[in-house]
Amino acid sequence: MNLAAKLESTLGAECVFQSTTLNVDGCRPVVTVAPKTYEEVAEVLRFADIEGLKVLPFGTGTRLHIGNIPKKIDIALSTARLNQVISYEPADLTAIAEAGVPLVDFFARTSANGQWLPVDPPGKGSTLGGVIATNAFGPLRTFYGTPRDYVIGLKIVAADGTLIKTGGRVVKNVAGYDLNKLFIGSFGTLGVIVETAFKLRPVPESESTCLITSRSIEPLAAVANQVFKSQLLPISTLLTDSRALKVCDVPTGEAKWGLLVRFGDNRKSIDYQVHKLNELVAEPNSIFQILDYSTASRLWQAIADFEDVFASEVTLRINTLPNRSAEMATAAGSHLKKSGMSSASIVHTSSGVVHLYIKSASENDAMTRRVLAMIEQLRAKVGDFGSLIIERAPLAIKQQVDVWGQPRGTAALMRGIKEKFDPKATLIPGRYVAGI
Amino acid sequence: MIQTAKGNSATTSEALNRKLPDSVLNSIRSIVGDANVLESDTEILPYECDGMMTHRYRPSAIVLPTSSDQVAPIVRVLAEHSIPFVARGAGTGLSGGALATNGAVVIEMARLNRILEIDYDNRLAVVETGLVNIRLSQAVNPDGFYYAPDPSSQTSCTIGGNVAESAGGPHCLKYGTTTNHVIGLEVVLPSGEVVRLGGCGADDIGYDLLGVFVGGEGTLGVATKTWLRLLPSPQTVKTMLIDFMSVEETSKAVSEIIATGIVPAALEMMDGATIRAVEASIFATGMPVDAAAVLIVELDGLEAGMDETIEQIKAIAEAHGGRKVYLAEDATERARIWAGRKGAFGALGRVSPDLMIQDAVIPRTKLPEVLSEVYRISERYNLRLSNVFHAGDGNLHPNISFDSRNQDEVRRVTAASKEIMELCVHAGGSITGEHGVGLDKINYMPLIFSDADLEAMHKVRDVFNPNNLANPDKVIPMHRCRAF
């Protein structure tokens, strides 16, 4: 009996798909399964673990481009059919949902009560489980942080099929180790997240977005840093080059850079903050404007999905200190310009995350070599207190460099954790950090 | 946990008089100097217990490193000889987490108390872990910044202890607990190896070992240095004191404030028994002694628009029978209200020789029914109960005043505590919101975690601490599936 037939006999034919379009860096699963219950997830994993098969857990597959080239995938296991909101108690500001619930559906459910899980990662179809497994975030990170700050509990099916519960369902809890953290951002390498519990936040009453443009980045970076150190409470602060703004249909005139600052609160507070921000813009060549609501909404959506909007071929993410982020973006930008590559950058000035989006990187070998050389230089520049992750790249690049970079002194601990939780390396071997 | 006034009435004690081999002592003395190794009974006595004074364990020695680079060599010596150790900050913990079971060596971190770097451009501070929590805020306050986690013991507890417990405080309702404010740690692993977890900029790559370490109660290694997030001080702070004639209505008001979408900086509740104890003590703030309960509601942030929120809160309070909404006029009045709240445990010390402080969390919507049941349990056992707690996040602290010389009363306190804990767990809650598991709650862990859940924790401990030398016997119970 072939693999698909075996899985069909366990899960039923409707949960098993032989023809699959899934392709992770040239690696194609033999079969895709979409179990309907936690027990079915456990059965698939137990089966794979015993048979020595390799499993790729995923939600809807919006972030499968992140990671090193997998060694092998036999079964792709989607959580998309685990799609029930289990409980939502508005007065507690908490909700429990299965991992396959799409973020947009979850948002629709909670926004009816003026509440939300305040994360806006790329990928419209992202599932809750996928967002947690990749700790994905978007422009709202400035004020709200990442999924790490909202997960209060998880249920995970471990590689051997054991169901593990971490955390709880209350908003404050220090009982035992905080194992939620271990699974957040683990990219499915330690277990399959099947259930999620979150604390929520009230949706701000109102919103305003300001755009400050300038020919040079320095005055804007200075304003961003002043805002960061001030009592103002923007929900998003992003520094972008004009190319990114143009792609998003925002006219920038002669300006080369734009600083986007978005406030969300009650009207009085927003008006006050917009006024204060305007006062901070001292440099005469900077232009301050308030975007109308529809332009702003379109822009934030386009920025969240910028990788697709720009059709990026190589996406780099640099993690650095907030006050070094603008400098990293300009260093990369001038490098790319010299190499004749089209690029755009978006800088989270308050968290120190820089995203670089590059096109035509894979045109020829010379281009690949230039990108690789740039990555090496940027990694050296980031230094000891940061990292550079290649979030998207063609195979030619992934074959020559570790997309994560090297962990500093913690590789043994990470491998130790993997060894304990997935001793047979059943879960997507080769994709993660430190060869995991 | 049971707090005894006298200490000598401890319900459990262990006087394991383990003596360290001379070779080990000499090795450690050569690292820290003779004067920084304590061995005599009188010197060791203060380290036999922590904030949970009913349990006593005699450490075999106390080592006081005076610089953070001494910690790794100390740990290496202990590891080579398989001698267990406990890192200790100020010893204010309430779950017995800093107790030296098995004749462990105490590594006292309090002298590693320097602020190494303050970097406002990146809103971070680098500090040694023996630093007392409030010192950091005091250092950055003049420049308009502060460090958010503010446990009630913040004038004495250390950052390292806060990291171990992922300590909270009244303001973690809005700002999160310690785990949300630590961006990086330098850690001495139980093998003596030094690693840095996390970065000091944005996220590090790979598994979130930093997030796992925080709240590990010292069982995963010794943190020596930490990168902490600073926040700009809020422009405006408004503190309200609202009194109610019914505990149930007070609880409902709490639920409604949260449900309305207001995020107070703090939302604290004190019941009548607590108010009366406070008002009879030096912490008296003028709270109405005939009230069934009061709420302390604090808002912070921008002044613009805050008046509307205050009006919303007033309306909610009135709808639930709030008698008076008192808005503190200035910083002095605010401080007076908080002195009453933070002095509550001290004030309760006047009521009886001993006090059992419990720590449990429930979903906020369950407050009315759970609180009523907590009172019923204490009546059934004929005990003196008071409640003072972080209502906004459902973190209860039911306190029972008793006399540990009365064995029958002690038995009733223990039985009632267990029932209260089971009640909270049954309501969907947790056995601890901020005090940690330590030794005190280790037997409650199976109430909320299965063998498989606990086994997952063991796996993590085995990776960091394979020989169980760092703070042994804490947090995770040894359980059945460890038998094979």
Q: What is the pLDDT of residues A151-196, one digit of tens each?
A: 999 999 999 999 999 999 999 999 999 999 999 999 999 999 999 9
| Confidence bin at A363 (pLDDT 50/70/90) | low
Query: Please, are residues B328 and B298 in contact by the beta-carbon 8 Å criterion?
Result: no
Residue of A nearest to B430 (CA): A173
The whole-angstrom distance between residue A214's C-alpha and the CA centroid of its chain comes to 29
**In CATH, what number is assigned to the domain containing residue A176?**
3.30.465.10
A388 and A332 belong to one structural domain: yes
Q: What is the distance between the alpha carbons of residues B61 and B280, in angstroms, rounded to a whole number?
A: 42
| Mean pLDDT value of segment A314-343 | 92
The residue among A111, A170, A180, A208 with the most chain B CBs within 10 A of its CB, best to mutate, is A170
What is the residue type of B404?
A: S
| Mean pLDDT value of segment A225-253 | 92
Mean per-residue pLDDT over chain B, rounded: 92
Which region among A145-149, A203-207, B283-287, B460-464 has the lowest average model confidence (pLDDT)? B283-287
A179 and A87 belong to one structural domain: yes
Among A202, A15, A248, residue whose Cα is nearest residue A110: A202
Biggest CA–CA distance in chain A, Å, is 74
The whole-angstrom distance between residue A145's C-alpha and the CA centroid of its chain comes to 12
Half-sphere CA count of A161, side-chain side, radius 13 A: 12
> Domain for residue A298, yes or no?
no
- Within A134-215, where are the H helices? 141-144, 180-183
Whether residue A257 is predicted with pLDDT greater than 90 in this model: the reply is yes
d(CA A329, nearest CA chain B) in Å: 15
> What is residue B118's predicted lDDT score, i.e. its pLDDT?
98
Whether residue A376 is predicted with pLDDT greater than 70 in this model: the reply is yes
Q: What is the distance between the alpha carbons of residues B167 and B178, in angstroms, rounded to a whole number?
A: 5
Termini Cα distance of chain B: 33
Read off the pLDDT of residues B154-192 as tens digits, 9 standing for 90 and up.
999 999 999 999 999 899 999 999 999 999 999 999 999
Whether residue B5 is predicted with pLDDT greater than 50 in this model: the reply is no
> What is residue B17's predicted lDDT score, i.e. its pLDDT?
57
Whether residue A299 is predicted with pLDDT greater than 50 in this model: the reply is yes
> What is residue B14's predicted lDDT score, i.e. its pLDDT?
43
Return the CATH fold of B352-426: Alpha-Beta Plaits (3.30.70)
H or E, element range at B475: none
A193 and A151 belong to one structural domain: yes
A248 and A335 belong to one structural domain: no
* Phi and psi angles of residue B109, each rounded to the nearest 5 degrees, phi first: -90, -5
Q: What is the distance between the alpha carbons of residues B367 and A164, in angstroms, rounded to a whole number?
A: 28
Find chain A residues with C-beta within 8 A of B206's C-beta.
404, 407, 410-411, 414, 432-434
| Confidence bin at A336 (pLDDT 50/70/90) | confident
Half-sphere CA count of A159, side-chain side, radius 13 A: 25
What is the residue type of A39?
A: E
Which pair of tokens denotes residue A106? 């979850």
Question: For the complex shown, is ipTM > 0.95?
Answer: yes
| Confidence bin at B12 (pLDDT 50/70/90) | very low
Percent of chain B with pLDDT over 90: 86
At B354 the three-state DSSP class reads: strand
What value, to the nearest 5°, has the Cα angle with vertex A141 and ends A180 and A94?
50
What is the residue type of B177?
A: T
Read off the pLDDT of residues B277-288 as tens digits, 9 standing for 90 and up.
999 999 999 999
> What is residue B291's predicted lDDT score, i.e. its pLDDT?
97
CB-nearest to B363 from A149, A170, A175 is: A170
Sign, Cα dihedral of A312, A314, A315, A316: negative
Read off the pLDDT of residues B397-413 as tens digits, 9 standing for 90 and up.
999 999 989 999 999 99
A336 and A379 belong to one structural domain: yes
What is the residue type of A275?
A: H
| Mean pLDDT value of segment A407-414 | 95
Which pair of tokens denotes residue B467? 């020989």
Residue A286 belongs to domain spanning: 206-293
A82 and A167 belong to one structural domain: yes
A183 and A70 belong to one structural domain: yes
> What is residue B10's predicted lDDT score, i.e. its pLDDT?
38
Domain B236-346, CATH number (from 3.30.70.2190, 3.50.50.60, 2.20.25.90, 3.40.50.300): 3.30.70.2190
| Confidence bin at A14 (pLDDT 50/70/90) | confident
Query: Please, are residues A42 and A426 in contact by the beta-carbon 8 Å criterion?
Result: no
- Within B45-171, where are the H helices? 71-80, 133-140, 159-165
> What is residue A50's predicted lDDT score, i.e. its pLDDT?
93
A286 and A388 belong to one structural domain: no
Percent of chain A with pLDDT over 90: 83
Domain B236-346 and domain B352-426, same fold? Reply is: yes
Which region among A353-367, A388-402, A409-423 has the lowest average model confidence (pLDDT)? A353-367
Mean per-residue pLDDT over chain A, rounded: 94
> Domain for residue A301, yes or no?
no
| Confidence bin at A83 (pLDDT 50/70/90) | very high
| Mean pLDDT value of segment A272-277 | 98
Whether residue B106 is predicted with pLDDT greater than 60 in this model: the reply is yes
> Domain for residue A73, yes or no?
yes
A61 and A130 belong to one structural domain: yes
Find chain B residues with C-beta within 8 A of A178's C-beta.
166, 179, 211-212, 214-215
The residue among B94, B119, B122, B443 with the most chain A CBs within 10 A of its CB, best to mutate, is B122
> What is residue A364's predicted lDDT score, i.e. its pLDDT?
77
A56 and A191 belong to one structural domain: yes
Q: What is the distance between the alpha carbons of residues A318 and A304, in angstroms, rounded to a whole number?
A: 17
Enter the CATH code of domain B115-232: 3.30.465.10
Query: Please, are residues A233 and A280 in contact by the beta-carbon 8 Å criterion?
Result: no
Which region among A244-253, A289-298, B167-176, B425-434 has the lowest average model confidence (pLDDT)? A244-253
Q: How many CB atoms lie under 10 A from the CB of residue A26?
A: 10
Among A246, A271, A293, which residue terminates a domain? A293
Whether residue B2 is predicted with pLDDT greater than 70 in this model: the reply is no
Q: How many CB atoms lie under 10 A from the CB of residue B234?
A: 17
Per-domain boundaries in chain B: 115-232, 236-346, 352-426
Residue A403 DSSP one-character state: S
A57 and A123 belong to one structural domain: yes
Which pair of tokens denotes residue B426? 């049954």
Note whether B463 contacts A417, CB cutoff 8 Å: yes
Classify strands B37-38 and B61-63 as parallel, antiparallel or unpaired.
antiparallel
The residue among A110, A134, A177 with the most chain B CBs within 10 A of its CB, best to mutate, is A177
Residue of A nearest to B304 (CA): A269
User: DSSP states of B6-39 as a string?
Assistant: SSTT-SEEE-------HHHHHHHHHHH-GGGEE-
Cα B1 to Cα A169, B95, B400, B407, B440, distances in angstroms = 23, 6, 10, 17, 6
Highest mean pLDDT among A285-289, A359-363, B236-240: B236-240
Whether residue B479 is predicted with pLDDT greater than 70 in this model: the reply is no
Find chain A residues with C-beta within 8 A of B200's C-beta.
321, 385
Sign, Cα dihedral of B329, B335, B336, B338: positive
